Structure 1
Amino acid sequence: MPLATTRRTGLVDQVIAQLRQAVVQGEWRIGERIPTEPELATSLGVGRNTVREAVRALSHSGLLEVRQGDGTYVRATSEVSGAVRRLCGSELREVLQVRRTLEVEGARLAAAARTDEELANLRALMAARDEAQGAKRLDEFVRLDAEFHLAVIRCGHNGLLTELYRGLTEVVTASVAATTREGGVGGADIEHHDLVEAIADRDQDRAVAEAGGFLNELLTGLDLDPGELA
């Protein structure tokens, strides 16, 4: 990965910015080990202490994970996602709690603010998702389902909500995969056509009910108590 040589002021902040950019742009992927401290120091033209401080800061923010005696690995693609991973761990219940909080309001905003072009995009994503489901292409289905939910949030035109939700890409995708069981309960059995039509009709109350009901249906299928999400 080509890294630009840094200036001599604010070195730690510059290194943090470059390492973060490498992660966000996919130079280093989730679960991948990044170059060693000496390698980074040489590439960046800074001292090892500067690299160590930058890695420590990104580790505290949840972007990287330092494994003693093994190396440093990419943990998340954004600080928001990293923070959620630290808070939620592997608890699907907690991930669904966060999703419901954001997605219900996102659906309400989408019904109020969506454009015709955005509605067409939702329908295209829905069709592609259904086609992947019917063909039993699980990985593609999971990806498209997560993209659909992000597209709904974007329809609300609330920049902060969109960025918060986009930062949850990994955990949302993981929760879709975890609740998708081929031929059984979970995401593969839940369709979102009524949600799309509520957004098309600009019916905010119905959109809220559809978004909340979808997550409650997931909880019922997973033997979790929907009341826990209230």
Structure 2
Amino acid sequence: MILSNSIKLYEKVINLIKEDISQGKYKAGEKIPSEPELMKLYSVGRSSIREAIKTLAISGILKVQQGSGTFVNNSFQEVSIEQRLRRADFDDVNAVRRLLEKELVKLATQNRTDEQLLEIEQCLENRKTAIQAEDAQSCADADIAFHTAIARASANPVLSDLYYSFTLIMRNFFSAREKQGISRFAMNHHLHEQLFKAIKSKKLSQSQAVLQKILDNNY
């Protein structure tokens, strides 16, 4: 999970809906509750419900039918992007993830807002705090949160949602490397600081160059 103080409400709703589907509360082909009902059920606002449904629809888990409602996709297990990624070779997944990050960093450098900069900066601070606490899991969570915040700043929700699916797979990769401790996170934290500064200053060539260094270190 992303650090509790930085996870978005819609991401929590995504996880809750997935859990309800897996437990059979919402069955394949069945209509899920309306937005007002989901708002009461998960204790969140309308925008969080809509964002969660949009993301789940993009990943193939839900199907939105205008005028009829939202349904659990009959074949979501076969068409889900996340399921396909989990079955894919990690090197292939990582190669596409690298391409996504390059495009997202470029767009974020061009399109980020002041509010999004604050979110990215907070994630960066969380990353530093986790390193200082020598908490490997929190380091991984904060690192993913940092790059996800950059993705949201791209102003391209489709790419951002697609990147979120990739982070679910990358999180497993980070977890497998926890035994290596925080050394990799600590050694390249200065690069993440440089990336933030480049995005903040809207220096495109610099942000791309710094990202390439991060990717070359496999983080």
User: When the two structures are superposed, what TM-score results if normalisation uses the length of structure 2?
Assistant: 0.63
Equivalent of 1:26 in 16, 21, 28: 16
Structure 1 letter corresponding to 2:85: V
Partner of 1:215: 215
Q: How big is the shift at 1:148?
A: 0.8
**Residues 129 and 145, structure 1, Cα contact 8 Å, conserved in 2:** yes
State the distance in 2 between where 1:177 and 1:95 align: 16
Q: How big is the shift at 1:178?
A: 4.0
Q: How big is the shift at 1:211?
A: 1.3
Where is the helix percentage greater, Structure 1 or Structure 2? 2
Structure 2 letter corresponding to 1:58: F
Q: How big is the shift at 1:179?
A: 4.9
**Residues 150 and 162, structure 1, Cα contact 8 Å, conserved in 2:** yes
Identity of aligned residues (%): 24
**Residues 136 and 182, structure 2, Cα contact 8 Å, conserved in 1:** no
**Residues 81 and 167, structure 1, Cα contact 8 Å, conserved in 2:** yes
Q: How big is the shift at 1:166?
A: 1.6
Which digits, 9 at most, give the CA deviation of each residue in 1:37-75, with x for residues without a partner? Answer: xx969x99xxxxxxxxx89723322xxxxxxxxxxxxxx
| Larger-gyration structure (1/2) | 1
Q: How big is the shift at 1:136?
A: 1.4
Q: Does 1:124 align with 2:122?
A: yes
Aligned length: 163
1:40–1:159 Cα change, 3 Å = closer
- What does 1:47-196 correspond to in 2, within 5 Å? 57-61=75-79, 79-88=80-89, 91=90, 93-179=91-177, 181-182=180-181, 184=183, 186-191=184-189, 192-196=192-196
Q: How big is the shift at 1:188?
A: 4.6
Q: Structure 2: which 5+ residue stretches go unaligned?
A: 1-12, 32-71
Q: Structure 1: which 5+ residue stretches go unaligned?
A: 1-22, 45-53, 62-78, 220-230
Q: Does 1:197 align with 2:197?
A: yes
1:115–1:27 Cα change, 3 Å = closer
State the distance in 1 between where 2:119 and 2:14 align: 25
Structure 2 letter corresponding to 1:134: Q
State the distance in 2 between where 1:215 and 1:108 align: 15
Q: How big is the shift at 1:25?
A: 4.0
